[in-house]
Amino acid sequence: MILEISKNLPKTFAQKMETKMPNKSYDTIIIGGGPAGISASLYIARAGKSVLLFAKDNGALEKAEKVDNFFGQSEPISGNALIKKGREHAVRLGVFILETEVVAISEEDNVFTVNGSYTAKSVVIATGKSRSKPNIKGLSEFEGKGVSFCAICDGAFFKNKTVIVIGEGEYAKSEAKYLSAISAKIITLSSKEIAEIYGDKRVRGIKLKDGSDITADGIFIAEGSASALNFADKLGIETKDGNIVTDKNGRTGIDGLYACGDCTGGLLQIAKAVGEGAVVGELIVDSVKLKVNVSA
Amino acid sequence: MAVKITSENFETEIIESELLVLADFYTDGCVPCKRLSPILSEIETEYDGVLKIVKINAGVSDELAEKYDIFAAPTVVFFRDGKEIDRFTGLKNKTEIIEKIVELGGSPNSIEE
């Protein structure tokens, strides 16, 4: 769904956005429409680069009734209002915002592909604080022994077998769809239904809270939205204590892939997220300039 | 370049190898597997004569993945004298992999003069 433009925006602009469809190729794709992602987008767009920003929701700020510690707000402002202002700012500078969940990301030859359709040479992960793993007995014990967090990585091990996808949202549907081409049977469940994952040296099945039992060869965890950790798993970037590891400028271990904001840990504050977004944005702009100069 | 293994040459390349063998079970489309590949290439060069590195496409040779209980990619299995002696799952950096190789007796000093 394309971002619904505020009625307060100039009519000509709103009209323009209503009919505009996203391109398929951008200089930068940003995953996350919170303070970090928006901040990065402002710097990149102001440098004349094309930016596609995926903003599924307002993240942690959705529940912030009053923000009273962010620069420039003379009166307390709600998290939702602050995000709305930030996104309007980004759109005014030419950032294209899609209110779509990112469910897939891959990289080949230094080009990133998001949701199978959109490509960019740089990607910023700014998805906010990662969710913790579902609290299911046996999950950690069988990680790598039939419990997986990445269908594209591990689906091949369950060819013509029975797998369970844990999750109910778009991300779970996307993982199930991928597995449907490989596995014989796919069962989708909510973690709330599951009492325990069991097995021996490998997963053998799950026990449900109602006392029933489902035998399965593999279990794919895809609860809620795809988080920074899911992207890290899919791309092979380093994480620590549930956060993406970056250098001080937001670089991950992969060229062209950056992370900023709450998903990198530390102080979970708007000001810190905005600052990190700015650093990443500037770095991307500089790296593009460098590449142009080198190839010239 | 790492030898590609299927069930056809598994016996000769891994089981009968006199060297410590690092078997990289990977899948197509697995980005962490692609990141591991150049790291292993560097190690292969540096540990020539000490360590043999082989690659197994687990999506193609699924019987080998099944036999060795591989359920996640990448999984690296170490073999010595035809037997599995250790393994790790997921991407690791070069230092971590070398530490593991040394721990398993694969130091460059073990190259016979």
Chain A residue at shortest CA distance from B57? A156
Same-domain status, A212 and A248: no
**Predicted ipTM > 0.85:** no
Chain B residue at shortest CA distance from A219? B71
Neighbours of B17 (CB within 10 A): 18
Range of the domain at A244: 11-131+227-295
A213-215 vs A147-148, strand pairing mode:
unpaired
Same-domain status, A38 and A107: yes
Q: Which residues in chain B have their CB less than 8 angstroms from residue A146's CB?
A: 71
Q: Which of B3, B30, B60, B102 is catalytic?
A: B30
For A24-58, give one letter per residue: b (16+ CB within 10 A) or e. Answer: eebbbbbbbbbbbbbbbbbbbbebebbbbbbbbbb
pLDDT tens, position by position, A56-108: 888 888 888 888 889 988 999 999 999 999 999 999 999 999 999 999 999 88
pLDDT tens, position by position, A149-191: 999 999 999 999 999 999 988 899 999 999 999 999 999 999 9
Q: Does residue A139 form part of some domain?
A: no
Q: Does residue A60 form part of some domain?
A: yes
3-state secondary structure of A114: strand
Q: What is the pTM of this model?
A: 0.80
3-state secondary structure of A48: coil
User: Which of A176, A202, A221 is the endpoint of a domain?
Assistant: A221
> What does pLDDT average to over chain B?
91
Same-domain status, A31 and A120: yes
Neighbours of A159 (CB within 10 A): 16
pLDDT at A19 over 90: no
Contact B72 A233 (CB under 8 A): no
Nearest to B89 among A144, A159, A236 (CB): A144
CATH of the domain at A35: 3.50.50.60
Domain count, chain A: 2
User: Which of A221, A251, A279 is the endpoint of a domain?
Assistant: A221
Same-domain status, A126 and A264: yes
Most B CBs within 10 Å: which of A111, A139, A154, A182, as the mutation test of the B interface? A154
- The count of C-alpha atoms lying within 13 angstroms of the C-alpha of A20, restricted to the half-sphere facing its C-beta, is 19
Q: Does residue A6 form part of some domain?
A: no
Same-domain status, A64 and A124: yes
B3-110 architecture in CATH? 3-Layer(aba) Sandwich (3.40)
Active site (annotated) includes residue B84: no
Same-domain status, A92 and A40: yes
Contact B29 A148 (CB under 8 A): no
* Residue B72 forms contact with A (CB below 8 Å): yes
**Residues on chain A bordering chain B, Cβ-to-Cβ distance under 8 angstroms:** 106-108, 144-146, 148, 150, 152-157, 159, 201-203, 218, 233-236, 238, 253-254
- Nearest 10 degrees: CA dihedral of A293, A122, A252, A171? -170
Task: For residue B24, give the amino acid letter.
Answer: D
Q: Does residue A1 form part of some domain?
A: no
pLDDT tens, position by position, B40-84: 999 999 999 899 999 999 989 999 999 999 999 999 999 999 999
User: Which of A186, A221, A256 is the endpoint of a domain?
Assistant: A221
